[in-house]
Amino acid sequence: MRIIVTKDYNDMSRKAANIISAQIITKPDCVLGLATGSSPVGAYKTLVDWYKKGDLDFSEVTTVNLDEYRGLTHSNDQSYYYFMNDNLFSHVNIDPAHTHIPDGTEPDAQKACDDFEAIVKNCGGTDLQLLGLGHNGHIGFNEPAEDFPKFTHCVDLTESTIQANARFFDKPEDVPTQAYTMGIGTIMRAKRILLIASGKDKSAIVKEALFGPVRPQVPASILQLHPDVTVVLDEEAASCL
Ligand code: GLP
């Protein structure tokens, strides 16, 4: 595991974008595993800037996203489908047919998850998986649990996650209570992993995930067992190391 400590969020974002762009340049038809949340927004902005300058070409890139809320339409601005288009896909020359996100509009959870797992497999595997880190150590929507889920599955969101999301919705009943997420196994099958985290509020869980015991109660701790992980932190997130 390589740990890179950067000055601040902008510096973290630029380093992460450097690693992602190096992947695209060295393998133009790579499969990128992408994440949502606030952590990757700066990296996506930087990639869009470099694309606009003519330094990057997404025409052969395939993407698979970690997760999606169950039951939100594509036009809902809280869906990860909307987020990815808004932050990256609509600004670069990626082929929309090559972008894959678990289908939150599919009510049959088993079908949605099996279909998505098959897509990841049929892409030939993920070359580089980008990850953010939840405050409780979750990656994707793999919340602390008694075991490490192997495949894409449907999760019941924890009460704290539901409450944290409530501010983004008009009515409490609109807040999603479930999500489809890659399993820990799906994530660990990626050839390389890039974990990013910033801010003081992530410092304790960063330490626990990277140096604590490997256990499903801290889902990100499994990354210690992956052979090719790069972690990019800002100084605040690294402050407990
Ligand atoms: C959500 C997403 C995760 C993300 C996490 C952290 O739960 N499902 O993929 O990593 O939030 O979000 P943030 O980057 O905003 O701290």
Asked if residue 77 is part of any domain, the answer here is yes
Strand partners for 131: 195
What does the pLDDT read at residue 59?
Answer: 98
Q: Any residues with CB less than 8 A from the CB of 144 and at least 6 apart, and which?
A: 136, 137, 138, 216, 217, 218, 219
Q: Is 127 a catalytic residue?
A: no
Which of these is catalytic: 10, 85, 136, 165?
A: 136
Q: Is the CB of 132 under 6 A from ligand 1?
A: yes
Question: Quick count: other Cβ atoms within 10 Å of Cβ 237?
Answer: 28
Q: Which SS3 state, helix, strand or coil, does residue 22 take? A: helix
- Residue 2 carries which side chain, given as an amino acid letter? R
What does the pLDDT read at residue 54?
Answer: 97
Lowest mean pLDDT among 104-113, 122-131, 159-168, 177-186: 159-168
Average pLDDT over residues 96-116: 98
Q: Is 85 a catalytic residue?
A: no
Asked if residue 178 is part of any domain, the answer here is yes
pLDDT at 21 over 90: yes
Q: Which SS3 state, helix, strand or coil, does residue 7 take? A: coil
Q: Is the CB of 140 under 6 A from ligand 1?
A: yes
What does the pLDDT read at residue 200?
Answer: 98
Average pLDDT, rounded, for the chain? 96
Domain containing 226 equals 2-196+216-231
Ligand 1 centre distance from Cα of residue 32 (Å): 17
Percent of the chain whose predicted confidence (pLDDT) is above 90: 92
Asked if residue 209 is part of any domain, the answer here is no
Domain count, the chain: 1
Average pLDDT over residues 131-136: 94
pLDDT at 151 over 90: yes
Asked if residue 180 is part of any domain, the answer here is yes
Ligand 1 centre distance from Cα of residue 132 (Å): 6
What does the pLDDT read at residue 168?
Answer: 83
What does the pLDDT read at residue 160?
Answer: 77
Average pLDDT over residues 196-201: 98
Instruction: List, for residues 26-76, the tens digit of each pLDDT value.
Output: 999 999 999 999 999 999 999 999 999 999 999 999 999 999 999 999 999
pLDDT at 127 over 80: yes
Asked if residue 239 is part of any domain, the answer here is no
Q: Is the CB of 120 under 6 A from ligand 1?
A: no
Is 236 within 8 Å of 199 (Cβ atoms)? yes
Domain containing 129 — which CATH number? 3.40.50.1360
Nearest CA to ligand 1 atom 12: 37
What does the pLDDT read at residue 171?
Answer: 86
What does the pLDDT read at residue 35?
Answer: 98
CA–CA gap between residue 170 and residue 167 (Å, rounded): 8
Asked if residue 143 is part of any domain, the answer here is yes
Tell me which of 68, 133, 194, 196 to substitute to probe ligand 1's pocket, judged by most ligand atoms within 8 Å of the beta carbon. 133
pLDDT at 130 over 80: yes
Tell me which of 69, 141, 167, 178 to substitute to probe ligand 1's pocket, judged by most ligand atoms within 8 Å of the beta carbon. 141
CA–CA gap between residue 188 and residue 224 (Å, rounded): 10
Kind and range of the H or E run holding 57: none
CA–CA gap between residue 75 and residue 116 (Å, rounded): 20
What atom in ligand 1 is closest to the CA of residue 35? 9
Burial-class residue 144 by CB neighbours within 10 Å (0-12, 13-18, 19+): middle
Q: Is 135 a catalytic residue?
A: no
Lowest mean pLDDT among 45-49, 108-112, 141-145, 200-204: 141-145
Asked if residue 154 is part of any domain, the answer here is yes
Q: Is 136 a catalytic residue?
A: yes
User: How confident is residue 232, by pLDDT bands cut at 50, 70 and 90?
Assistant: very high
Average pLDDT over residues 193-211: 98
CA–CA gap between residue 117 and residue 180 (Å, rounded): 11
What does the pLDDT read at residue 25?
Answer: 97
Asked if residue 119 is part of any domain, the answer here is yes
Q: Which SS3 state, helix, strand or coil, does residue 124 take? A: coil
Q: Which SS3 state, helix, strand or coil, does residue 197 take? A: strand
User: How confident is residue 238, by pLDDT bands cut at 50, 70 and 90?
Assistant: very high
Q: Is the CB of 36 under 6 A from ligand 1?
A: yes
What does the pLDDT read at residue 163?
Answer: 85
CA–CA gap between residue 146 and residue 166 (Å, rounded): 27
Nearest CA to ligand 1 atom 1: 37
Q: How, if at all, do strands 229-234 and 192-197 pair?
A: parallel
